[in-house]
Structure 1
Amino acid sequence: MKEFLISLLNVFGLAWWVEIKTSTPRCIYYFGPFLSTQEAESAKAGYVEDIENEGAEGVSVSIQRCKPVTLTVADDLGKFGEGGLWPVLSGQ
């Protein structure tokens, strides 16, 4: 039941995602979807640790409601200028 609710929220861009940006390599990673900010918050440390273990530098993290088109957006993948997100209307 929980997976169905998360999927439904994600369809409408209302699910929560962990967005991690790195300066070297220049990438944006999306992890999720999550039902709540609390779930995303508790999972983010593991994602950051994995990315730092791969040698990434300049890591910044945010938790947001969004609908990623691509889960990894990077210069070398040729997609950095495309943004990687579907526009989501929000009352935030």
Structure 2
Amino acid sequence: MKTIWHNLKEVLINTFDYLGLAWWVEIVTQNPRCTYYFGPFLSCSDAKLSSTGYIEDLEVEGAQGIAVNVKRCKPNTLTIADDLGEKIDRKVQPAFGGQILS
């Protein structure tokens, strides 16, 4: 039964993401000057719950001035490094258990 729910949830997330209705965690850091998108998520609460792990990872990596926003959107690029003028695009996959697969 768990596998059926997992598969259904993945289909729902992909559909919501395609329509621009999925929830994403947007994290902007001042040092380094980057914007990160983590997701997609089916609900705002799922995204908020997962955001703590992303923040902890960025803090461990030394990021400073972290601002978090959970919103419905459809990002084209998942990592934007403003300091380097780069856009780093990771393959978008549904996040389960607070992790993005790359």
Normalised by the shorter chain, which TM-score bucket?
Answer: 0.7 to 0.9
Residue 29 (structure 1) aligned with residue 68 (structure 2): no
3-state SS in 2 of match to 1:51:
helix
Residue 12 (structure 1) aligned with residue 23 (structure 2): no
Q: Distance in 2 between matches of 1:6 and 1:32?
A: 9
- % identical aligned pairs: 57
Q: CA RMSD in A?
A: 0.9
Gaps of 5+ in 1: 80-92
Q: Distance in 1 between matches of 2:17 and 2:62?
A: 30
Give the letter aligned to residue 28 of structure 1. Answer: T
In the TM superposition, structure 1's runs of 4+ consecutive aligned residues that sit over 4 Å from their partners are: none
Please name the residue that 1:42 is paired with.
49
Deviation at 1:78, TM superposition (A): 2.7
TM-score computed with the length of structure 1 as normaliser = 0.83
TM-score computed with the length of structure 2 as normaliser = 0.75
Gaps of 5+ in 2: 1-7, 88-102
Residue 78 (structure 1) aligned with residue 86 (structure 2): yes
